[in-house]
């Protein structure tokens, strides 16, 4: 047996990373998709823009925090998770602006900064394991939505299969009704959390940018006290804003 050639192993691994990385050129920069997965089986994607000859701005465009929040795991409204998030951001020397991770770097720092984004994204993704949301109530509401759709023999895709293309990325929704014209998405907005409303607002906006004819229905839990801001975000971005006590109205909307 030949001796293990560790140098070739490393070279082969780096060649794999390079060949598996996808790049899309944009004005003064690029989007890169790296072969590393985080929650939701999404590849880590970054936007790199050149600010001058020796300075770059790197951003994840809010991908990881939007994904974690939309999966039903509150970050900003949960003191423990928010503290962990800020610790992660500090550890990897990044900046948090809204829901986006950002960092400027010169040419010498660029490679290490990209690696820090990878490490930070994986660490933030792990926050999904600290789940304390009221799953039971959400499950009941989703079951009621399914009951309406099944009772009226309306075909739909659900959860992992309910993926629809947006302008920036693909989005999973709770229910995707493809065989209707226009196509319809139905989501359960969950608890009254401003950040979660913003996540769904972003999803609706991005989907509409790519598919302007898609009809969006947002079902909200009436037992949760909704603030004016959260309601306004969902009302502005969705076509119909339906209380959980009136789920039967979904049928009338679909058939109208």
Residue 244 has a pLDDT of 83
Question: pLDDT band for position 225 (50/70/90)?
Answer: low
pLDDT at 112 over 90: yes
* 188: in domain: yes
Question: pLDDT over 70 for what percent of the chain?
Answer: 88
What DSSP string runs through 92-156? TT-EEETTEEEEEEEHHHHHHHHHHHHHHHHHHHGGGGS--S-HHHHHHHHHHHHHHHHHTT---
Q: Are residues 120 and 157 in the same domain?
A: no
Over residues 123-134, the pLDDT tens digits come to: 999 887 755 444
Cis check: omega of the bond before 198, within 30 degrees of 0? no
CA distance 242 to 256: 15
Same domain, 66 and 112: yes
Whether residue 148 sits in one domain with residue 46: no
pLDDT at 193: 55
Place of tokens 């990373």: 17
- Domain CATH number, residue 174: 3.40.1350.10
Taking a C-beta distance cutoff of 8 angstroms, is the pair 183, 213 a contact? yes
Is residue 63 assigned to a domain? yes
Token output for 134: 């009221």
Q: Is the pLDDT of residue 81 over 80?
A: yes
Lowest mean pLDDT among 4-18, 90-104, 192-206: 192-206
The answer as to whether 1 is a domain residue is no
Asked whether residue 29 falls in the same domain as residue 70, the answer is: yes
Q: What is the mean pLDDT of residues 95-124?
A: 95
The verdict on residue 174 lying in a domain is: yes
Q: What is the pLDDT of residue 191?
A: 53
For the entire predicted model, the pTM comes to 0.53
Range of 49's domain?
6-129
Of the ranges 33-47, 49-63, 219-233, which is most confident? 49-63
List, in order, residues 6 or more apart from 140 with CB less than 8 Å away. Answer: none
Tally of domains in the chain? 2
Mean pLDDT, to the nearest integer, of 164-181?
Answer: 84
Q: What is the pLDDT of residue 153?
A: 86
Return the percentage of the chain with pLDDT > 90, whole number: 36
Q: Which residue has the higher pLDDT, 105 or 201?
A: 105
- pLDDT of 67 over the 90 cut: no
With a CB cutoff of 8 Å and minimum separation 6, the contacts of 24 are: 30, 31, 32
Q: Are residues 81 and 126 in contact, defined by beta-carbon separation less than 8 angstroms?
A: no
Q: What is the pLDDT of residue 190?
A: 56
Residue 215 has pLDDT above 70, yes or no: yes
Contacts of 65 (CB under 8 A, 6+ apart): 75, 85, 99, 100, 101, 124
Residue 184 lies in a domain: yes
Interior/surface letters 32-64, b for 16+ CB within 10 angstroms, e for the rest? bebebebbeebebbbbbeeeeeeebebbbbbbb
Averaged pLDDT score across all residues of the chain: 85
Region 115-119: mean pLDDT is 96
Question: Is the Cβ–Cβ distance between 153 and 180 less than 8 Å?
Answer: no
Residues 19 and 41 in one domain: yes
């Amino acid at each position: 047996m030949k001796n293990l050639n560790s140098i070739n192993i490393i070279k082969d691994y780096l060649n794999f990373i390079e060949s598996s990385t996808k790049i899309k050129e944009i004005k003064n920069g690029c989007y890169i998709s790296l072969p590393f997965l985080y929650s939701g089986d999404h590849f880590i994607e970054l936007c790199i823009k050149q600010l001058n000859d020796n300075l770059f701005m790197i951003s994840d465009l809010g991908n990881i925090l939007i994904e974690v929040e939309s999966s039903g795991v509150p970050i900003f409204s949960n003191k423990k998770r928010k503290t962990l998030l800020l610790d992660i951001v500090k550890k990897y020397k990044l900046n948090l602006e809204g829901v986006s991770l950002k960092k400027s770097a010169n040419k010498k720092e660029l490679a290490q900064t990209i690696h820090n984004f990878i490490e930070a994204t994986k660490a933030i993704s792990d926050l999904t394991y600290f789940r304390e949301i009221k799953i039971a109530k959400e499950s009941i509401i989703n079951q009621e939505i399914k009951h309406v759709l099944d009772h009226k023999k309306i075909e739909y895709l659900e959860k992992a299969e309910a993926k629809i293309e947006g302008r920036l990325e693909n989005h999973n929704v709770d229910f995707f009704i493809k065989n209707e014209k226009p196509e319809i998405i139905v989501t359960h907005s969950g608890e009254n959390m401003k950040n979660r409303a913003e996540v769904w607002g972003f999803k609706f906006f991005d989907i509409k940018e790519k598919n302007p004819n898609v009809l969006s229905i947002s079902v909200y839990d009436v037992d949760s006290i909704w603030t004016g801001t959260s309601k306004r975000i969902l009302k502005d971005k969705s076509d119909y804003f339906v209380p959980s006590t009136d789920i039967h109205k979904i049928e009338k909307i679909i058939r109208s």
